[in-house]
Structure formats: C-alpha cells, structure tokens
Amino acid sequence: MWKFPGGLSEPGEDIGDTAVREVFEETGINSEFQSLLSVRQQHASPGAFGKSDMYIVCRLKPSSFTINCCQDECLRCEWMDLSELVRTENTTPITRRVARLLLYGYREGFDKIDLTMEKLPAVHTGLFYKLYHKELPESYKHMTGMD
C-alpha cells in the first residue's frame, strides 16, 4: 500500500518539525513546512499505546529530490504524480483523500486548502504558541474594531 511518510512526534516537538524529520528519516528528502492540511482523529486504535490517535497531515516543500529510502521503515519510496496517486487502488483511504486535496490545491491554489501557522504570544509572559488556521484576508489581519 502506498502512503505518505509519517510517525510519532517527540516530546516538545512541533507538528511541522515532526513532519520534516519523519520525511527525512524515511526518504532522505530535505523539506520545509508549508502548512497543515488535515487532521484525522481515531480512538481505540491498536498500536496507539492505549491513547486516542491524531494523524496530522502537513504540506512540505522539498529542498532535495534524491530519495534514500530507509529500509527499516519502508519497502519502497518513490515520487508519484498526484493524478496517478488519486487513481491507484493500492493505497489507504486517507492517502487517496489527501492526494485529491493536494491535487485540488495544486490546480486551484493552496490558499483554498492550507491551514497556515502563526506564532502568537501566550497569556504567560515570554511564552508563545502556534495557531493553525485558514489565512485571513489582509483587511482582517490587523482589525482593531468594527471599521
């Protein structure tokens, strides 16, 4: 079955950093986080260590293209055209759905599918958090009142 690279976050590791690290570990491809695409939540999943499972799919931009497949984690790695991935039967339902989502974003604009990340100050002095959301139009980004 074809699937996107993935794995567990390390304690304290941000979502985008996990995606970049896992892609590198499994494929040898260097990449940069672009956006969050989807979240799958599942309960009582075997292999989830008795916890609810969140599978977060990120869109990354590759900065290298030569694949060095990790034989411990993958049987095979290859670049695949999104149109081909959408049509293949030999994949998981989430991979097929995300491939359709990516194809739509590629054709119509990633602004239609991306959840961007914004670093904001937390209520606790000196701390920050990352908020993932659809991009706001410029006219709403710095609103102070109901103009």
pLDDT in tens, 106-138: 999 999 999 999 999 999 989 999 999 998 888
| Tokens (6 digits) for 88 | 């293949």
Is 31 part of any domain?
yes
Is 45 part of any domain?
yes
Band of residue 144 on the pLDDT scale cut at 50, 70, 90:
confident
Convert the pLDDT of each residue in 23-81 to its tens digit.
999 999 999 999 999 999 888 888 778 888 888 999 999 999 999 999 998 999 999 99
Nearest alpha carbon to residue 100 among 121, 122, 118, 85: 85
| Tokens (6 digits) for 122 | 């937390």
Active-site residue numbers?
Answer: 25
Is 106 part of any domain?
yes
Is 144 part of any domain?
no
| Tokens (6 digits) for 106 | 């590629």
Rounded distance between C-alpha atoms, residue 125 and residue 122, angstroms:
7
Is 145 part of any domain?
no
Host domain of residue 68: 15-113
CB 91 within 8 A of CB 85: yes
Could you tell me the CATH number of the domain that includes residue 43?
Answer: 3.90.79.10
Is 128 part of any domain?
no
Q: What is the per-residue pLDDT for 138? A: 84
Task: Report how far apart, in Å, the C-alpha atoms of 45 and of each of 34, 83, 95, 113, 144 are.
Answer: 29, 30, 18, 27, 45
Helix (H) or strand (E) holding 23: helix 15-27
Instruction: Report the DSSP beta bridge partners of residue 33.
Output: 60
**Lowest-pLDDT choice from 1-10, 17-26, 43-52, 96-105:** 43-52
Q: What is the per-residue pLDDT for 135? A: 87
Q: What is the per-residue pLDDT for 109? A: 96
Q: What is the per-residue pLDDT for 146? A: 60
Is 73 part of any domain?
yes
Q: Give the count of domains, the chain.
A: 1
